[in-house]
Structures are given as structure tokens and as C-alpha cells.
Amino acid sequence: DAGITQSPRHKVTETGTPVTLRCHQTENHRYMYWYRQDPGHGLRLIHYSYGVKDTDKGEVSDGYSVSRSKTEDFLLTLESATSSQTSVYFCAISGGGRYTEAFFGQGTRLTVV
Amino acid sequence: GESVGLHLPTLSVQEGDNSIINCAYSNSASDYFIWYKQESGKGPQFIIDIRSNMDKRQGQRVTVLLNKTVKHLSLQIAATQPGDSAVYFCAENMRGSGGGADGLTFGKGTHLIIQP
């Protein structure tokens, strides 16, 4: 799995609570990404990082924030979880460059009740 | 709507037969394409990629064909095995400049079912 660890793997939380998902890589890749996967929508990019402290928004960034203080860690935070954020979240990494594939972690299943 | 899509949501094939999974894209500026395989409960796994300066690329038991004229991409799996059961989806990179994979757009996927 390309040296990517996501934690937790499963989480149930209540509406309105903050939630942080962690992605840890051992590949020393420059780029890291957070996606969500929902039935009928495929994978959608939430935020990505192109270096320590360098992040940018993706297609569905509203309600999410990220931080990257070290090359190996990329955190995704839901400041106040909503039921619409119930999803499977995937972290991915890539080495950068125009023609580069992304390698994915195993995912975190988040349920907001 | 999605610029990357698949023609069939489910494909059922006999074990040992060849499988062909299709994907359409709409952006003529896309110049890099990837096929991923996703097994139940797991993350997407890279299978094969192709750049737009190529029409065909082969891997182990898999071949990707790119038809830029009709903006069509296909994944052929030879001698399908039970372990090939998964959702397969394509991705295209529409970004015109360098950088990472943030320009990747993913299709919704085709569920490949292997009949014994």
C-alpha cells in the first residue's frame, strides 16, 4: 500500500463535533491528497498539499481544513461534522510531476450521526 | 457533469474470458490517463497508465487502449481470474502544467464480476 497509513480506519461521531483524520506516509513523497468517495460520485478531491505548510483546496473543500507540519503527515479536520460528511475518506500520495500516479491508503470510514 | 465516465456500471464475465472495461472522457486537453482497481473495503490500486502520445500500453495481463479521436479509453484484462473481481475506474489529468496529481478527475467506476 505504498507506505500509507490512515487513522482511524473507522469512526462514528456526532453532528457538530470536530473530527481529525490522519494520514502518514513513509515514502517521502512531496504531494499528499485527501479524497472522499461516495456512491454515485466517485473520488472527489478535498484538499491537497504540495509541501510542508503548502496546501490548496480541491473540488469539495467546504467544511474541511488541512494541515501539514511534516512531510510524512497530512491531517484532515472537520471543524463541525455534518451528516453530509458521512463518507469514506482516502489519503493519497504522489511524487509530483506532470505524469504521475497517485497511490492510495486503505481509507477511513466516517459516519456522522 | 463528469468529464470522465464509464459506459457500464456492472460487467459480468466468465472466468478465463477476456474483459474489456470502457471509459469516455470529454476534455481534449487531457494528456495522461490512469486505470485503478478497487477491491471491497480497500483503497484504489494503480494498474496501468498511458500518456496521450501513445495509443496502447501493455502490462501483465492488462492492456490500455487510447483513442483520442473519440476520446475513449479502455482496459482489457486477459484470462480473467476470480481475483480480478473489483471496481475499476479511470482517471484523467486535465492540468496543462506540471505539478502533482491534483488535476486527476476520476470516473465513477465499473464493477467487474467474475462468474465461475
pLDDT-derived band at B7 (thresholds 50, 70, 90) equals very low
Nearest residue of chain B to residue A45 (CA atoms): B102
Lowest-pLDDT range, A86-95, B5-14, B61-70?
B5-14
Amino acid at A32: M
B82 part of contact set with chain A, CB < 8 Å: no
- B101: nearest CB among A44, A94, A107: A94
- Check CB contact of B22 with chain A, cutoff 8 Å: no
| Cα dihedral B53, A27, B90, A48 in deg (nearest 10) | -100
pLDDT digits (tens, 9 = 90+) for B16-32: 999 999 999 878 888 89
Check B102 against A56: CB less than 8 A apart.
Answer: yes
* Spatial distance between the Cα atoms of B61 and B65, rounded to a whole number of angstroms: 13
Suggest the residue from A5, A99, A104 to mutate for an interface test with chain B (most B CBs closer than 10 A). A99
Contact of A35 with A20, CB cutoff 8 Å? no
Tell me, what's the pLDDT at B103? 76
Residue A59 predicted with pLDDT over 70: yes
Within 8 A by CB and 6+ apart from B69, the residues are none
Element containing residue A74 per DSSP (H, E): strand A73-78
Give one DSSP letter per residue of B59-109, joined into a string: -SSEEEEEETTTTEEEEEESS--GGG-EEEEEEEE--SS-S-GGGEEE---
pLDDT at A98 (0 to 100)? 73
- Over range A58-62, report the average pLDDT: 93
The answer to whether the beta carbons of residues B40 and B71 sit under 8 Å apart is no
More confident residue, B1 or A23: A23
Which residue is associated with the grid cell 466468465? Answer: B14
Give the closest of B43, B104, B109 to A90, CB-based.
B43
Contacts of A1 in chain B (CB under 8 A): 43
Question: For position B1, what pLDDT does the model report?
Answer: 30
Q: With CB atoms and an 8 Å threshold, state whether B104 touches A106.
A: no
Asked if A89 contacts B91 with a C-beta cutoff of 8 angstroms, the reply is no
What distance in Å separates the CA atoms of residue A108 and residue B86, rounded to the nearest whole number? 19
> What pLDDT score does B37 carry?
97
Contact assignment for A101 to B34 by CB distance below 8 Å: yes
User: According to the model, what pLDDT value does residue A46 have?
Assistant: 95
CB nearest to B43's CB, from A44, A97, A107: A107
B1: chain A residues, CB-CB within 8 Å: none
| Per-residue pLDDT tens digits for B53-112 | 999 999 999 999 999 999 999 999 999 999 999 999 999 887 654 456 677 888 889 999
Res. B15: pLDDT tops 80:
yes
Task: List pLDDT tens digits, range B77-90.
Answer: 999 999 999 999 99
